[in-house]
Amino acid sequence: MRSRLLGIIWSLVFLAVPVLGVATFAVAPAFDIWLPENVSEHGPTVDGLFMFILVLTGVVFVVTEGLLFWFLWKYDAAHAQGPATYRHGSHSLEVVWTILPAGVLLFLAIYQMNSWADIKMRRPAMSPTVEVVGRQFEWRLRYPGRDGMLGTPDDLFIVNDLHVPVDEDILVQLKSADVLHSFFLPNLRIKQDAVPGMKIPVWFKATQTGEFDIVCAELCGWGHYKMKGHITIESREDFDSWIEKKYAEQESTQPVAEPSDAVAIAD
């Protein structure tokens, strides 16, 4: 009787895992603990791939847990008709369960190839909009100055406060000043490692205005938890107004050049 009770309990535990797991995903959106709001042009593609893989792996998970429940329920010790028998393997079965996952992975690789190319390979033909440098423990931003070129004396320097215009291609030049960081914009579906010694292009097009988070998704030291900035997506007019204001603020803090002591003496 005791073994039968234990068999029932363990069977119900294994049954509860898929039931509660599926229920958690089903009710999560209602409690606003699902994916963050998408504000990126390529976001629907990324979310579609995520949902496809989630459903595919979820079906396998439910079937596997269902079989565990069934075998625990049906073949408990209290109802055993004799000693257990063992199989020492089936070559055909091993080939099947090797080929099936390999086929699924190959399908996923081909299925997402075009999306990967759009996000990681088909770089827009434009100069960088902004340079982002990960540094323990902040994001240092550098905008081109009025000459439109990065790396010149009139560049604009900001910390943790990224602004971009909406409905325009944005090209980020990503770098790291010390260790490995990960530039993560959850609402824009962007996550790219910042690798020391490398300049990595990152691009996106925002489709909605608002203020959203920038976080580091790579453990980068004791202050990793506070390496957080924000990105403001705004109209072109508001962006131009903001950047002119920041230019003025920066110029007001620059040292004033001393006039030359040379005096031209006219005859």
Q: For 216-250, what is each residue's pLDDT tens digit?
A: 999 999 999 999 999 999 999 999 999 999 999 88
Report yes or no on 259 lying in a domain: no
Domain co-membership, 138 together with 215 = yes
pLDDT for 264? 40
Is residue 241 included in any domain, yes or no? yes
Q: What is the tens place of the pLDDT at every residue in 90-142? A: 788 888 889 998 998 899 889 888 888 888 899 999 999 999 999 999 999 99
Where is 51: in which H helix or E strand? Answer: helix 43-74
* DSSP code at position 95: H
Among 58, 85, 119, which residue terminates a domain? 119
Please state the φ and ψ torsions of residue 121, each to the nearest 5 degrees.
-125, -40
Q: Are residues 103 and 147 in the same domain?
A: no
Which is higher by pLDDT, 155 or 253?
155
pLDDT, position 79? 67
Write down the pLDDT at residue 70.
82
Q: What is the CATH number of the domain that holds 192?
A: 2.60.40.420
Environment class of 132 (CB within 10 Å of its CB; exposed 0-12, middle 13-18, buried 19+): buried
Q: Let me know if residue 206 belongs to a domain.
A: yes
pLDDT digits (tens, 9 = 90+) for 36-84: 999 999 999 999 999 898 888 888 888 888 888 887 777 766 666 777 6
pLDDT at 228: 93
Which of residues 55, 90, 119 is at a domain's end? 119
Residues 174, 73 within the same domain: no
Residues 238 and 204: their CA atoms lie apart, in Å, by 19
Regarding whether 109 and 26 lie in a shared domain, the answer is yes
Domain shared by 246 and 163, yes or no: yes
Residue 204 lies inside a defined structural domain of this protein: yes
Q: Is residue 190 located within the same domain as residue 218?
A: yes
Residue 20 pLDDT: 85
In a domain, 266, yes or no: no
Q: Are residues 111 and 167 in the same domain?
A: no
143-199: pLDDT as tens digits: 998 888 888 888 999 999 999 999 999 999 999 999 999 999 999 999 999 999 999
Which two tokens mark 16?
């509860």
Query: What pLDDT is recorded for position 7?
Result: 65
Residue 150 domain-assigned (yes or no) = yes
Q: How far is CA 104 from the centre of its chain?
A: 23
Task: For residues 142 and 248, state if they share a domain.
Answer: yes
Q: Are residues 148 and 237 in the same domain?
A: yes
- Residue 225 sits in the same domain as residue 140: yes
At 263 the pLDDT is 39
Q: Are residues 110 and 163 in the same domain?
A: no
> How many structural domains compose the chain?
2
pLDDT of residue 78: 65
Q: Is residue 247 part of a domain?
A: yes
| Contact (Cβ atoms closer than 8 angstroms) between residue 221 and residue 201 | no
At residue 259, the pLDDT reads: 47
User: What pTM, to 2 d.p., does this model score?
Assistant: 0.79
Tell me whether residue 45 is in a domain.
yes
Domain around 45: 2-77+98-119
Indicate if 41 and 109 belong to the same structural domain.
Answer: yes
Q: Is the pLDDT of residue 262 over 50?
A: no
Q: What is the mean pLDDT of residues 256-265?
A: 44
